[in-house]
């Protein structure tokens, strides 16, 4: 089940997946809305049964990230999407994972969670919190067979870069991570046998 806010993107993804021979289901969902998150979880269960893996890759940034431009309303939106949404998703799947004594939550955070940088106060605060959420869930739920992983990528050549007030140069973009590198890392973590867990993994473009 792939979920996102934008239905048109999901339709494209679904068509691509189908023509690649790996059909998927999709679900429109804004993670800042608890009810939509609950509905997404219900739709997933209806389609596939128990949810075993949650991959939270939602994350946004704002062109207004510099402190003189950041305003409380923008801050609130950033925290709601990047942080609260992650908790809503986790709490929606925790009961069934606990019951099954099996589950894996993978949160995609950022190297901005590891050291102060120019990504803006709201972004890096939310990403540090996301790391904390992942580790807190693991500590509390490991006795229930639940594993968590937080993946911290550096700059990825994605449309999120378009929101940077100062655009990376084409040379920098050409050295940035590709989304498939992050996907590869997520897959490696998800493929670990149940006895092992990768609680944290950092990944960068090798020139950075």
Contacts to a second copy by CB under 8 A: 34, 66-68, 70-72, 75-76, 79, 83-84, 87-88, 91, 94, 98, 113, 115-118, 120-122, 124-133, 135-143, 145, 147, 175, 177-178, 181, 184-185, 188, 192-208
Shortest distance in whole angstroms from residue 193 CB to a second copy: 7
Measured between alpha carbons, how far is 112 from 183 in angstroms, rounded to an integer? 19
* Residue (14 or 128) nearer to a second copy, CB: 128
Beta strands in 40-145 (DSSP E): 53-56, 103-108
Long-range contacts of 76-81 (CB under 8 A, 24+ apart): 77/32, 78/122, 78/123, 78/126, 79/122, 79/125, 79/126, 79/129, 80/32, 81/31, 81/32, 81/126
C-beta of 59 vs 205, nearer to a second copy: 205
Shorter beta-carbon distance to a second copy: residue 49 or 195: 195
CB 98 within 8 A of CB 52: no
Closest CB 140 distance from a second copy, rounded Å: 5
Q: Which is nearer to a second copy, 21 or 170 (CB)?
A: 170
3-state secondary structure of 111: helix
The nearest distance, CB 29 to a second copy, in angstroms, is: 15
Minimum Å gap between C-beta 110 and a second copy is 11
- In the complex with a second copy, the residue whose CB is nearer, 14 or 135, is 135
Least distance (Å) between residue 147 CB and a second copy:
5
Angle between helices 121-141 and 85-100 (to 10 degrees): 10
Closest distance of CB 74 from a second copy, Å: 10
Q: Which is nearer to a second copy, 21 or 72 (CB)?
A: 72
User: What secondary structure letter does DSSP report for 17?
Assistant: H
Backbone angles phi, psi at 78, to 5 degrees: -60, -45
């Amino acid at each position: 089940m792939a979920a996102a806010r934008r239905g048109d993107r999901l339709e494209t993804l679904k068509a691509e997946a189908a023509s690649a021979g790996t059909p998927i289901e999709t679900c429109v969902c804004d993670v800042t809305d608890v009810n939509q998150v609950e509905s997404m979880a219900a739709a997933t269960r209806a389609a596939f049964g128990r949810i075993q893996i949650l991959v939270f890759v939602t994350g946004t940034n704002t062109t207004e990230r510099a402190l003189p431009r950041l305003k409380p309303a923008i801050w609130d939106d950033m925290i709601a999407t990047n942080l609260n949404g992650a908790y809503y998703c986790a709490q929606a799947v925790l009961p069934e994972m606990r019951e099954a004594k099996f589950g894996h939550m993978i949160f995609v955070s950022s190297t901005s969670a590891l050291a102060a940088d120019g990504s803006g106060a709201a972004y890096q605060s939310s990403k540090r919190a996301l790391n904390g959420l992942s580790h807190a869930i693991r500590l509390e739920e490991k006795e229930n067979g639940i594993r968590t992983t937080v993946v911290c990528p550096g700059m990825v050549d994605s449309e999120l870069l378009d929101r940077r007030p100062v655009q990376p140069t084409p040379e920098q973009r050409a050295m940035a991570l590709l989304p498939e590198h992050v996907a590869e890392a997520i897959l490696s973590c998800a493929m670990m046998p149940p006895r092992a867990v990768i609680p944290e993994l950092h990944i960068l473009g090798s020139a950075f």
